[in-house]
Structure 1
Amino acid sequence: MSTYPPHTAAVLAVELHRLCGCLELLLQFDQKEQKSFLRPRKDYWDFLCTALWRQRGSTEPARFIRAQDKLKTPLAKGRAFIRFCLAHGQLAESLQLCLLSPEFTREWYGPRSPLVCPELREGLLDSLYALNGVAFDLDLQWPDLDEAWPMFSDLPFSGVSPS
């Protein structure tokens, strides 16, 4: 349970909701269309999963997401990945691993994406590493990520606390 007063907890929940939404938009921005014959359009989850596999093989976040039966779409899996990585302080490292190959990143993202611009990518990763100092208490079993990001204020408090 939160140690914050209800008003503060609600503000933190809104900010956390915004953060997750912004991260998702960033990962979708100027993403090239990747199609597969038997699957629908690929999403940022497919990029993350493929890039991590190329760098490290199977990773803890990817294994966790694949084990979640309730996640039906790549979008839900991407959202679960962001939540898992925030909760475990692995978002910056995971994204940095995904971006180690500029050629591979350019296969998935167009020139306007911050992920292909070295200066913007560096600033993004620095900001994400700064988030490692924040403890995110997130429910990792949230079932409706296929529909939308959860409103954290609707949960029995999931939020952030300074560490």
Structure 2
Amino acid sequence: MNIGGLPTIVLSTLTGALIGYLLPKLQAKIHKRKMASLNYTEDDNLVSGDEYKMLLVVRMDLKMGKGKVAAQCAHAACGGVEVAMKRKPDILKKWRNEGQAKVVVKVQTEEELKALGRTAADHGILSYIVRDAGRTQIEAGSRTVLAIGPGEKSAIDMITGHLKLL
């Protein structure tokens, strides 16, 4: 069969080649736009002039193993990002653009952990607290790690600067 003087097989081959050529270019363009929406321009960093970070506060009285601490910190970081996406997406984007700095510190008790969470909230700083599922080392519902931020480094340091690194 001929369509416009070209055999169907030739037309099909040309159409497939054209789609095969154009589709990756279109996908790359869409990906580039999506990535650009996640990043700020240099002008955006002039808004506050501050750096951004997330602080992960670990309870030491639970005597968690190293792997457990690492897992709980990962839960806290993910939770902190989820909270930021809903409540302060502009800060989340700036933090991501700066490399997603995270610092891990320690407290000795649950009361210290809860007090830091309240203080962060009182200062308008994002926070998220992990409550363990109780499947391994510690009791279900135990508060293990507090994520503070992402937020401005100076604001976070103002309320947590006294804490020691883990």
Q: TM-score, normalised to structure 1's length?
A: 0.24
Greater percentage in strand: 2
Structure whose alpha-carbon radius of gyration is higher: 2
Q: Which structure carries more relative contact order (alpha carbon 8 Å, separation 6+)?
A: 1
Q: TM-score, normalised to structure 2's length?
A: 0.23
